[in-house]
Amino acid sequence: MRVQVAIIGAGPSGLLLGQLLHRAGIDAIILERKSGEYVLGRIRAGVLEQGAVDLLDEAGVGKRLHAEGLVHGGIELCFDGERHRIDMAGLTGGKHVTVYGQTEVTRDLMDARAAAGATTVYEAEDVSIHGFDTDSPVVRYRKDGVTHEIACDFIAGCDGFHGVCRESLPANAVKHYERVYPFGWLGILADVPPVSHELIYVNHPRGFALCSMRSRTRSRYYVQVPLDEKIEEWPDERFWDELKRRVDTQAASTIVTGPSIEKSIAPLRSYVAEPMRFGRLLLAGDAAHIVPPTGAKGLNLAASDVRYLSRALIDHYRSGSMKEVDAYSGKCLRRVWKAVRFSWWMTSMLHRFPDTGEFGQKIQETELAYLVGSKAASTSLAENYVGLPFED
């Protein structure tokens, strides 16, 4: 079999790339290790920058997002027992973010791909990539005991942090930058109305907390926990008690609690692989970088990589030139590093670190007080949160 582009991974990166290429008349196959239901079962991020919304519109999958997504023009920061609003729209000339779960984005993209009749091979085993340093790369995989081979022009490595693509590179071809944080986020999803109509990011001596949502009737809450914490030790009651101890008294008295429908612990990590292109292999999304969720940038960075990658491939097939493919890694990484910096900064300012003590807590509270009191500092947070501009 032969295709123009072989996409590895059917997460948001792979599916969005597939849809944009399909609309441009470029032939692509997607190979995914897991089943479709498994991919949809993963609960992840929920905040989309305008640039990501625009790209989903361009891919023709924006309808439900516009109908059901919640448009937010601000966030709240809670510290020293008080809440302060950052007016993101007012500080950025009217920019907003849209709260719409990654699961829903994935579902919309899967539906669009099925409607287009484009091929996704789910439960593809032992995917391997070959010859990406030549002009004729090959991808192999096994399905139902039969080995298949696909010849292609390009391989898009959209296979996440634990994927096969980055792993297939020679060790000396890639430089890794990494910071692992000494805590995780315990998150729950519950069918209860959110405590506030905007997100609340909380700095508290007991640790960070976040009040988020998926809809007007579904809430997503997180509390910072030590890395070795066991989920079994967190019955719902304990979670709600801990959350209430960290938020301000008004929020604590109005939070509506209820049974969790999902509960998980995620470690926090910053990671970047450079470069993002090796010959005819191009990495996108979590395959190339991870950010801690505090800046709400993971899904947005995946979308921005895919924006650059789809444009580069479309330009190549229209003009025959490799100019945009050559520029891909540099363009992505300049934007990636800015989001990595922002996510690291938000994480550093809002979490309790084991080694910084009461001095660290005071410095954080002072930074937050400066931030909410200074238009210059608030504008810096706001313009990063709504999403920095693209290079075109």
Among 69, 187, 285, 387, binds ligand APR (CB under 6 A): 285
Q: How distant, in Å, are the alpha carbons of 17, 30, 71, 249, 310 from that of 13?
A: 6, 11, 23, 40, 11
Cβ proximity to ligand APR, 52 vs 349, nearer residue: 52
Please report whether residue 347 would count as binding ligand APR according to CB under 6 A: no
Q: How many CA atoms lie within 13 A of 334 on its CB side?
A: 10
235 is known as an active-site residue:
no
By CB under 6 A, name the binding residues for ligand PHB: 45-47, 199, 212, 220, 293-294, 296
Among 163, 187, 292, 295, binds ligand APR (CB under 6 A): 163
385 is known as an active-site residue:
yes
First-to-last C-alpha distance (Å) of the chain: 34
Query: 3-state SS of 72-141?
Result: ECCEEEEECCEEEEECHHHHCCCCCEEECCHHHHHHHHHHHHHHHCCCEECCCEEEEEECCCCCCCEEEE
Cβ proximity to ligand APR, 48 vs 371, nearer residue: 48
Please report whether residue 292 would count as binding ligand APR according to CB under 6 A: no
Please report whether residue 75 would count as binding ligand APR according to CB under 6 A: no
Using N-to-C axis directions, what is the helix angle for 50-58 and 12-23, rounded to 10°? 50
The item of ligand APR, ligand PHB, none sharing an interface with residue 55, based on CB under 5 to 8 Å by kind, is none
Phi/psi at 79 (5° precision): -155, 155
Among 34, 85, 148, 244, binds ligand APR (CB under 6 A): 34
Q: Is 94 left (phi over 0), alpha (psi -120 to 50) or beta?
A: left
Question: Whole-number minimum distance, CB 225 to ligand PHB, in Å?
Answer: 15
How many residues line the site for ligand APR (CB under 6 A)? 28
Question: Whole-number minimum distance, CB 306 to ligand APR, in Å?
Answer: 9
Structure tokens at 259: 């049974």
Asked whether the beta carbons of 391 and 335 are under 8 A apart, the reply is: yes
Cβ proximity to ligand PHB, 224 vs 294, nearer residue: 294
389 is known as an active-site residue:
no
Enzyme catalytic residues: 72, 201, 293, 297, 385
Residues at the interface with ligand APR (CB under 6 A)? 8-14, 31-34, 39, 44-45, 102, 124, 127, 158-160, 162-164, 285-286, 298-299, 302
